């Protein structure tokens, strides 16, 4: 069995004269949580639609669950869960009945429904009709529907949008547990802290092309500023460059017992994102 669950190689897609994806190339191994980050209109949703065969590429190669996407079967798609802004819930049915319906559509027992309701903080609201739910409750119910059949591959588009911090933390914990069991997660989010918490690697897409792809910590180190801030006992706050001369100066400060703290001026993932894209989310 291939260790690569998803891959794109030199994928292009245009809508009329507009090039939407330009040579998109990446791969996601089994059991990885892969973040796909980009400003609005960069191509994130289009990429998910290609990977779920809602759209067809112009050129390039796409692999899904170890085979060319054009050879993917209905059984392959039964191994996939999807949470997106178009995820369907039935307004006049309760949360529990929606999850039970999705279990039935997937051909499985509804026995997993109580567990999901409890984990997603919906057990007390299980009989609430979807039309009476808050945005956060709807989002958690839609996530439950995506997870009801324990998918091997999970597409999540802004999974914690509208959730309070406690609910967001519980979703992150669930995703970590799923990944440990071998589930592959493809995540789009505007929350850079979420990407750092959940994802082993992130790709940043801008104008239809990937401009960076690596572990969040590696990206932050790659774009770190060439500066150290040193707090001293008697000489105040010093700004040093990362150089041989500064290393010698720092060594002297340590020898004189002057150093209170040393900080490397590294960007967070949001600052890296803004530097690479030049745009807000």
Predicted local confidence at residue 18, as pLDDT: 92
Asked if residues 161 and 139 have their Cβ atoms less than 8 Å apart, the reply is: yes
C-beta separation of 7 from 62 below 8 A: yes
Of the candidates 101, 95, 103, which has an alpha carbon nearest to the alpha carbon of residue 120? Answer: 95
Asked if residue 43 has pLDDT above 60, the reply is yes
Band the pLDDT of 245: cuts 50, 70, 90. confident
Tell me, what's the pLDDT at 277?
86
CATH 3.40.50.300, domain 4-215, yes or no: yes
- The rounded distance, in Å, linking the Cα atoms of 97 and 127 is 8
Confidence of residue 183 (pLDDT cuts 50, 70, 90): very high
- Nearest residue to 146 (alpha-carbon basis) of 206, 85, 102: 102
* The residue to which tokens 């039970």 are assigned: 100
Average pLDDT over residues 154-170: 89
**Average pLDDT, whole number, for the chain?**
90
Report the distance separating Cα 264 and Cα 267, nearest Å: 9
The domain limits of the chain are 4-215, 225-265
Range scoring the smallest mean pLDDT among 50-54, 136-140, 271-275: 271-275
43-57 b/e with 16+ CB inside 10 Å = b?
Answer: bbbbbbebbbeebeb
Per-residue pLDDT, 241: 79
Q: Is the pLDDT of residue 219 over 70?
A: yes
The model's confidence at residue 1, banded by pLDDT at 50, 70 and 90, is very low
pLDDT at 146 over 90: yes
| pTM, 2 dp | 0.83
Crossing angle of helices 135-147 and 165-180, in 10° steps, is: 10
Which among 167, 85, 98 has a CA at the least distance from the CA of 130?
98
- Of 39, 46, 45, which is closest to residue 273 (Cα–Cα)? 39
């Amino acid at each position: 069995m291939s260790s690569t669950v998803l891959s794109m190689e030199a994928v292009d897609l245009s809508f009329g004269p507009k090039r939407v994806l330009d040579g998109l190339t990446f791969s996601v191994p089994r059991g990885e949580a892969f973040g796909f980050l980009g400003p609005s209109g960069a191509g994130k949703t289009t990429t998910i639609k290609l990977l779920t065969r809602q759209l067809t590429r112009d050129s390039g190669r796409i692999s899904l669950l170890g085979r060319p996407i054009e050879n993917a079967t209905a059984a392959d798609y039964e191994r996939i869960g999807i949470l997106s802004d178009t995820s369907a819930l039935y307004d006049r049915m309760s949360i529990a009945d929606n999850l039970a319906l999705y279990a039935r559509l997937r051909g499985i027992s509804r026995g997993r429904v109580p567990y999901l309701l409890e984990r997603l903080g919906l057990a007390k609201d299980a009989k609430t009709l979807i039309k009476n739910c808050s945005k956060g409750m709807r989002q958690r119910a839609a996530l439950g529907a995506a997870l009801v059949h324990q998918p091997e591959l999970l597409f999540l588009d802004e999974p914690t949008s509208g959730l309070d911090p406690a609910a967001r933390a519980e979703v992150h914990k669930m995703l970590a547990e799923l990944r440990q069991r071998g589930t592959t997660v493809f995540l789009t989010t505007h929350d850079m802290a979420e990407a750092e918490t959940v994802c082993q690697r992130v790709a940043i897409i801008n104008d239809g092309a990937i401009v960076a792809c690596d572990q969040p910590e590696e990206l932050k180190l790659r774009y770190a500023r060439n500066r150290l801030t040193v707090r001293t006992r008697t000489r105040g706050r010093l700004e040093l460059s990362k150089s041989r001369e500064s290393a010698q100066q720092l060594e002297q400060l340590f020898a004189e017992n002057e150093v209170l703290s040393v900080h490397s001026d590294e960007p967070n993932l949001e600052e890296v994102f803004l530097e690479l894209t030049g745009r807000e989310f």
